[in-house]
């Protein structure tokens, strides 16, 4: 299998790979698409974040058809092997085909995520022989760093009610649901006092963690929540203590694997250790299958001049003991799909504040609202503040999708069965659904693997077949 540049979709993929286009560096590729639209005489629009929207009129005989929107993101994740001296600011990607017909970029990510979708759109815009309804192609930016381009689109930017998102793979697969999300910061102002008690540090270790969109259903332990529970159990066992600092987790969207809590206490070391070992044994049994490596370490630590007051200590520990966290709802329709979850991903102790960074995800807006409200009601009990940051909408499964039925039929004519997938991650399609709730959306794309790593590769035979299938779907949108 060679990378045949006489095929339009291959030609444009190759053109795209010549122009560096990591997230936040999409201007050159965006301008390329603008020149392309000008040369072809298409109406287009380029916005301040370099999204480009291009309209292609219907082919003869399709003038009365409803328009179809195609959409892909033009940014890629820049990752390279340690020994590669590729410069993502100026070098073209160094494409090659392996013996099994996969396209790669030497030493770097390939950007098939989502250059394959962008190439499909350019090929479709370029080909005058295709049978097409009116088509609007939306090229978005900064998807990989938080769906930023998509978030800046407005409902009136969309010239139709049917949308095919080209940022998913599998050739016979389509996504039918994605989660929305909201970031919440729970902030507790600290009150401190002088300390003369011995200090100890508790370490939560050995947890597996993982992405809170993809893996929250595995019910892995959250180091922050477990640390708070173990401390609460110390109080319940009659041991008094004051927090000095509590830090855990690295990212709000990753299940935290470790937490370090320094506290001071007048209780004998043996009593503290005994309570902690009892809690550890209970948690170990609970996590036997999800997190077999879980362990707790306790060590005497250096003297501390200051400690949090008893009141603040209790408020922090009680809040974290009670706050909703982890898997909340599963789909009663799609097996294995998480509908709603929370992840207390990061806790940080600053000089004057203690902060919990939480990510709430749900395909259903009212779930997100309720979970935010629960965090807020609980915060009001303890005098904490909750700040809700960026929020994006979810895409709840809809049993009825005309586009999905067209895709199903086109695949079945080729002897292939459509596979429906759902994700608890966030997608641009969720944002579109939030803007236009009755938008009919499907996702489609070729077989690829290793996204976001230098092992990223694109199955060229599938790249050809998926292109034909996509064109056939459009031709059948009558």
Of the residues 15, 26, 113, 143, which is catalytic? 143
Shortest Cβ 79–Zn ion spacing (Å): 13
Nearer to Zn ion, 114 or 472 (CB): 114
Distance CA(427)–CA(343), nearest Å, equals 18
Count of residues of this chain found to bind Zn ion when the rule CB under 5 A is applied: 3
Catalytic, 143? Answer yes
Q: How far is it, in rounded angstroms, from Cα 307 to Cα 298?
A: 18
Q: CB of residue 87 vs Zn ion: minimum separation in angstroms? A: 23
Q: How far is the CB of 27 from Zn ion (least distance, A)?
A: 19
Q: Which of 207, 291, 297 is nearest to 254 (CA)?
A: 207
User: Is there a catalytic annotation at residue 288?
Assistant: no
| Contact code string over 120-159 relative to Zn ion, x by CB under 5 A | ----------------------------------------
User: What sign for the dihedral angle of Cα 359, 364, 368, 371?
Assistant: negative
223-236 helix and 310-322 helix, angle to the nearest 10 degrees? 120
Tell me how far apart the alpha carbons of residues 83 and 46 are, in angstroms, rounded to a whole number. Answer: 37
CB of 457: closest distance to Zn ion in angstroms? 15
Q: Give the interface segment with Zn ion, choosing from 88-96, 160-168, 196-204, 239-247 (CB under 5 A).
A: 160-168
Supply the DSSP symbol for 90.
T
Q: CA-to-CA distance for 458 and 276, rounded, in angstroms?
A: 50
Residue 248: enclosing H or E segment and its boundaries?
A: strand 242-248
Judged by CB, which is closer to Zn ion: 167, or 472?
Answer: 167
The residues pairing with 185 across neighbouring beta strands, listed in sequence order, are: 357, 387
Residue that has been written with the tokens 């990223």 in this structure:
456
Residue 167 lies near Zn ion (rule: CB under 5 A): yes
Longest CA pairwise span in the chain (Å): 86
Q: State the minimum distance, in angstroms, from the CB of residue 144 to Zn ion.
A: 6
Q: Is 280 a residue that touches Zn ion (CB under 5 A)? A: no
Nearer to Zn ion, 248 or 394 (CB): 394
Q: Does 358 bind Zn ion (CB under 5 A)?
A: no
Active-site choice (75, 233, 291, 314): 75
Output DSSP code: residue 341. Answer: E
The half-sphere exposure of 455 on its side-chain side, counting CA atoms within 13 A, is 2
Q: Confirm or reject binding of residue 114 to Zn ion (CB under 5 A).
A: yes
Separation CA 246–CA 186 (nearest Å) = 14
Q: Which is closer to Zn ion, CB of 249 or CB of 394?
A: 394
Q: Shortest Cβ distance from residue 226 to Zn ion (Å)?
A: 33
**Which is nearer to Zn ion, 357 or 456 (by Cβ)?**
456
Identify which of residues 167 and 456 has a Cβ nearer to Zn ion in the complex: 167
- Residue 472 binds Zn ion, judged by CB under 5 A: no
> Segment near Zn ion (CB under 5 A), from 109-117, 185-193, 274-282, 377-385?
109-117
How far is Cα 168 from Cα 176, in angstroms, rounded to an integer?
Answer: 11
How remote is the C-alpha of 180 from its chain's centroid?
A: 10
Identify the residue among 55, 75, 79, 113 touching Zn ion (CB under 5 A): 113
Positions marked active-site: 75, 143
Contact residues for Zn ion, defined by CB under 5 A? 113-114, 167
């Amino acid at each position: 299998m060679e990378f045949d540049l006489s095929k339009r979709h291959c030609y444009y993929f190759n053109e795209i790979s010549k122009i560096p286009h990591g997230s936040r560096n999409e201007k050159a590729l965006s301008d390329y698409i603008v020149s392309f639209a000008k040369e072809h005489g298409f109406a287009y629009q380029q916005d301040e974040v370099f999204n480009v929207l291009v309209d292609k009129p219907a082919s003869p005989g399709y003038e009365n058809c409803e328009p179809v929107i195609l959409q892909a993101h033009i940014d890629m994740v820049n990752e390279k092997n340690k020994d590669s001296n590729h410069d993502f600011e100026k070098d073209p990607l160094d494409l090659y085909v392996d013996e099994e017909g996969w396209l790669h970029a030497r030493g770097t990510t390939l950007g098939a995520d989502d250059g394959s979708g962008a190439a499909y759109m350019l090929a479709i815009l370029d080909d005058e022989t295709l049978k097409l309804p009116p088509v609007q192609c939306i090229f978005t930016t900064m998807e990989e760093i938080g769906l930023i381009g998509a978030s800046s689109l407005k409902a009136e930017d969309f010239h139709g009610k049917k949308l095919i998102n080209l940022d998913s793979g599998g050739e016979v697969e389509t996504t039918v649901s994605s989660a929305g999300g909201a970031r919440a910061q729970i902030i507790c102002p600290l009150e401190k006092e002088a300390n003369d008690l011995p200090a100890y540090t508790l370490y939560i270790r050995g947890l597996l963690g993982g992405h809170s969109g993809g893996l929250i259903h595995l019910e892995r332990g959250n180091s922050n929540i477990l640390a708070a529970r173990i401390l609460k159990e110390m109080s319940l066992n009659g041991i008094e203590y004051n927090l000095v600092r509590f830090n855990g987790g690295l990212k709000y969207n990753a299940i935290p694997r470790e937490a370090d809590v320094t506290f001071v206490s007048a209780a004998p070391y043996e009593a503290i250790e005994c309570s902690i070992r009892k809690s550890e044994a209970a948690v170990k049994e609970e996590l036997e299958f999800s997190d077999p490596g879980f362990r707790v370490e306790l060590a005497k630590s250096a003297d501390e001049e200051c400690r949090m007051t008893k009141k603040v200590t209790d408020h922090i520990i009680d809040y974290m003991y009670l706050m909703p966290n982890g898997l909340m709802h599963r789909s009663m329709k799609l097996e294995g799909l998480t509908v709603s979850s929370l992840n207390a991903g990061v806790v940080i102790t600053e000089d004057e504040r203690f902060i919990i960074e939480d990510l709430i995800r749900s395909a259903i807006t009212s779930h997100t609202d309720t979970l935010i409200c629960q965090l807020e009601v609980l915060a009001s009990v303890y005098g904490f503040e909750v700040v809700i940051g960026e929020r994006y909408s979810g895409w709840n499964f809809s049993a009825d999708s005309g586009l999905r039925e067209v895709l199903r039929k086109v695949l079945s004519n080729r002897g292939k069965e459509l596979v429906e997938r759902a994700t608890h991650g966030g997608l641009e399609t969720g944002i579109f659904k939030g803007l236009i709730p009755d938008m009919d959306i499907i996702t489609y794309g070729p077989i690829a693997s290793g996204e976001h790593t230098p092992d990223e590769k694109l199955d060229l035979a599938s790249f050809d077949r998926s292109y034909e299938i996509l064109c056939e779907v459009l031709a059948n949108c009558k």
